[in-house]
Amino acid sequence: MKTLKYFSFILFLVISFLSCKKESYVAKFDQSPQERMNAQMTLVSDALTGAPNGWIATLPTGLGGGYGFYMAFDKEQKVTMYADLTDASASTAASSQYRIRQDMGALLSFDTYTYISILNNPEPSAFGGNIREGFRSDIDFVFDRASGDSLVFIGKRYRQALILVKASAEQKAKYLNGDLKPAIDKLKQFFTNNPNAYFENGPLKVSVEPNGGNSLNAGKRITLTAITPDDAIITSSAKFAYTIDQMAILDSGLKFDGITFKRLAWKDANTLALYDSNGKEYILKNNPTPLLPLYKLWGSKYNGMLSDFKKINPGTSAKGAEILNFFHNNMQNGFTGFVFNYGRINFVWNTVNKRLNFNGFSSQNGGTSGWTTTSVYNYTVDASGVYTFTLNSSFSGGYVSKAMQPLHDFLLKNKVKFDYFVDGTTIYGQMSSVDDPTIVMTYVLQ
């Protein structure tokens, strides 16, 4: 009897379940996608305008180094900005329009031309950027996240991180007082006064070389290099930006010998220190002579040297300029048999095979594309770093061998040495003749 009652109960439940009306499941959210987007845009706008002392911002570029900014946003969509690009941008405020709009997320757009726009300018004459790309730097940034007192945006096209950190009242006052340029000048002067700066890490003396220039290949980078006890060279570089109180190392920091370095800052009025990700302090000192001879760094820290079109770098002697100008000045006059509007000299080291490539590049479209003439030399180097070059293979390819001839002759007829030349915080490489010390040519290190 009990079994029959139990069976009847189960049958009732099954029939009741089958007779229920079938309904589709519809997920319920508190907000629609548009409402959520509007909320995020409001959050970003309120955060930007709600910082009473503005923001200290840093931005690495895709082709060049890193740059620092001070930004203050108001509710009328105006942003006031200082930047470490030039002396003028560091001491004079620029105002422009900004917008927060919807795109792939909440998008911060700098609508009118201002300091951050300069890095996006595709005209080389504006700031030295690449044709059509500038520094591969954006003016539109997608909001990524907020963390403590920081906002992180990602460039819409080139994917570089624009990081904004709330400024203090003291920092704001210094920016508005025009103190960024003196702060940058003081840091640069330290390395001018201490051209062989280094710090100690165990048995290593690690050289510290910031390049404060704006060149695409080498500017706004800091490089650490050391020679290990077994004579191996270790080196690493990272991009940096100047702020009112430090040199901020960008991206994920500078990784060297198992340590991640994050910034350089003053320990006191006259003592500069490097700080790692754990806050450990490394005091910078100065060696009487360069710790690392330039010739030992070919193929490791530096792959070569560059002389850009019609640019004679500081430290070049009159005779050296004559050799370089023979190449540059004979691009546009038909001397080579063709007329070009751009050309450059490039040396590339092959230390494995002990060869040096001398490349003469020429172009008829401002350097976007062109032709390369190459001559290759074998070399020997003595214990003091003096090079002797012999011809491996003469000019091939391209159209500018005639313009390259004086420099070609110099390499084959002179014993040559290489050394640093420091102009402010920009470090060049010098090629000079041992036989005739009045012949000196200064190049951008690559």
Which residues is 309 bridged to in the sheet? none
**What are the φ/ψ torsions at residue 11 (nearest 5 degrees)?**
-65, -35
Q: Could you count the other beta carbons within 10 Å of the beta carbon of residue 323?
A: 21
Please name the helix (run of DSSP H) or strand (run of DSSP E) that holds residue 127, with its range, or none.
helix 124-127
Phi-psi domain of 77 (left: phi exceeds 0; alpha: psi -120 through 50; beta: other): left
Secondary structure E strands in 353-415: 355-363, 371-381, 387-396
d(CA 268, CA 190): 13
d(CA 442, CA 426): 12
pLDDT value of position 23:
43
Question: Using one digit for the tens of pLDDT, what is the confidence trace for 417-445?
Answer: 999 898 876 889 999 999 999 999 999 99
DSSP 151: E
Per-residue pLDDT tens, the chain, 446 aa: give them.
444 444 444 444 444 444 444 443 344 456 677 778 888 899 999 999 999 999 999 999 999 999 999 999 999 999 999 999 999 999 999 999 999 999 888 999 999 999 999 999 998 888 998 888 999 999 999 999 999 999 999 999 999 999 999 999 999 999 999 999 999 999 999 998 998 899 999 999 999 999 999 988 889 999 999 988 887 889 999 999 999 999 999 999 999 999 999 999 999 999 999 999 999 999 999 987 678 889 988 987 889 999 999 999 999 999 999 999 999 999 999 999 999 999 999 999 999 999 999 999 999 999 999 999 999 999 999 988 999 999 999 999 999 999 999 999 999 999 999 998 988 768 899 999 999 999 999 999 99
At residue 272, the 3 state secondary structure works out as strand
d(CA 34, CA 42): 12
d(CA 1, CA 116): 88
d(CA 48, CA 61): 22
d(CA 95, CA 186): 27
Query: Within its chain, how far is the Cα of 176 from the centroid?
Result: 26
- No. of H helices and E strands in the chain? 9, 26
Computed from CA positions of residues 367, 303, 437, 402, in that sequence, does the dihedral angle turn out positive or negative? negative
Computed from CA positions of residues 64, 68, 70, 71, in that sequence, does the dihedral angle turn out positive or negative? positive
pLDDT value of position 22:
40
Angle between helices 169-176 and 180-193 (to 10 degrees): 90
pLDDT value of position 423:
84
pLDDT value of position 292:
81
d(CA 188, CA 183): 9
State the SS3 of 204-227.
EEEEEEEECCCCCCCCCEEEEEEE
Which residues is 162 bridged to in the sheet? 153
Please name the helix (run of DSSP H) or strand (run of DSSP E) that holds residue 314, with its range, or none.
none
Question: Using one digit for the tens of pLDDT, what is the confidence trace for 336-358?
Answer: 999 999 999 999 999 999 999 99
* Residue reference for tokens 């003291």: 170
pLDDT value of position 30:
62
Q: Could you count the other beta carbons within 10 Å of the beta carbon of residue 340?
A: 24
Angle between helices 401-413 and 318-328 (to 10 degrees): 150
* Residue reference for tokens 């005639």: 402
